[in-house]
Amino acid sequence: MLANPTEILAVDSSFTRLWPLLPFLTSLYLVPDMFLSKRALTAMACKDGIGELRSLKGLKVSAPAGHASALARPLAPSPDAVIELLRNCPLLESLEIACADTISPDLESVVDLDLDPASLRDEAEAAALPPPLHLPNLGSLYLSAIPISQLFIALLRTPLPELRHLAVTPYSGRHTAQLSTLLAAHGRGLTSLRINTPRHLSTSTGDVPLPPVLTSCPELQYLALDQPLPVLLAPSTPSPAPAPDDDGESPRPPHPLRVVTVPRPSARFLREVEALLPRLPSLSVVRARAVRWLRAGVSRKALEAGVQGEMHEWRRRFARRGGGLVDSEWRHPE
């Protein structure tokens, strides 16, 4: 672990000199306490062979310039520096970016823009948005606590036809709109989605509800959720009047979801999932990530109390449809 700014600067300088010596670099993973400065990222973006980079993980960015919290990480690059690097990585397949700054109310409106392109009023307003990147091979994307900044908007506007795996940690309780816009832009082809909610945000409802996940991601097979649990499907909308030879409204097609992970069972979420089971013929496993089954030998009363009782209720109901409930260790009850 780097102990002080002098050591961090020394390592950053070493990386700046190292990049030209790595023309065949295809994968880079930075440890959690590593920060690359704008100088180091610029040297990396200009090095020979940067266009061959396939995987970039552990990259830290700082808040946009002008905010006090950004000064706490003087070496962490701004999102603009990361955008310039990504412009030179057209073959990137896996990308992981996190914000290095402590979450601050000052950053909750870093960029005050309506993220829906259809709502832009004129060409000048559209020109203020960062241009899209070129990442046709990106299949895995992890964004951890990235505020609505130029970097986020650039990724939002970038076509990602190969994106299959997405993990998102909201920046704050007021930024659930990020999830809605991100899934609207890139949810159609996802097969795996993980939504992480930091503990200090888990009790915040925010000003925008979480999006209906399965409606936004029709190809999803693995879904990992955190508190607060979102609505899975949007309410049905009235359909047009049927044709004379039509018997009525055509049913919604089945969804391919196979595995759902939740922190712990809840009665409200059980009712929603149970109502959707006819539309989820492939759902075989529900995992309670924060709970473990009690070992054999405990009393029946203990098995029916609290969370354990809720777990057994879920297990009984899912068993009727051929599904199963497992605990944090992917175990069935003994």
Q: Does the pLDDT at position 114 exceed 70? A: no
167-186 mean pLDDT:
78
pLDDT band at residue 155 under the 50/70/90 scheme: very high
Is residue 259 scored above 50 in pLDDT?
yes
CA–CA separation, 320 and 315 (whole Å): 9
Tell me, what's the pLDDT at 242? 44
Strands (E), 183-271: 192-195, 222-224, 259-262
- What is the average per-residue pLDDT within 35-47? 88
How many CB atoms are located within 10 Å of the residue 270 CB? 17
To 5 degrees, how large is the angle CA 90–CA 64–CA 51? 15
**Cα dist from 1 to 11, 35, 104, 123, 214, whole Å:** 11, 12, 25, 48, 41
- Highest mean pLDDT of the ranges 52-56, 100-104, 152-156, 278-282: 52-56
Tell me the pLDDT band of 3, cut-offs 50, 70 and 90: low
- Rounded to 10°, the helix 306-319/267-276 angle is 10
Q: Distance (Å, rounded) from C-alpha 60 to C-alpha 36?
A: 7
Mean pLDDT (whole number) for 234-263: 64
Predicted local confidence at residue 75, as pLDDT: 52
What is the rounded average pLDDT for all residues in the chain?
A: 77
Please say if the pLDDT value at position 264 is more than 90: no
Angle at 100 between CA 95 and CA 104, to 5 degrees: 125
Provide the pLDDT confidence category of residue 32 given band limits of 50, 70 and 90: confident
- Whole-model pTM: value is 0.82
> 20, 14 in Cβ contact below 8 A?
no
Report the DSSP pairing between strands 165-169 and 192-195: parallel
pLDDT for position 299 = 65
Q: Tell me the mean pLDDT in the region 304-324.
A: 80
Contacts of 67 (CB under 8 A, 6+ apart): 104, 106, 107, 110
pLDDT of residue 21 exceeding 50, the answer is: yes
C-alpha 184: how far from chain center = 13
Checking if the pLDDT of 79 tops 80, the result is: no
Omega before 212 within 30 of 0, i.e. cis: no
What's the maximum distance between 2 C-alpha atoms anywhere in the chain?
Answer: 78
Token representation of residue 167: 């993990």
Residue with tokens 């004129």: 122
Considering only CA atoms, which of 161, 141, 143 is closest in space to residue 152?
143
81 vs 173 pLDDT, higher one: 81
- Quote the pLDDT of residue 57: 94
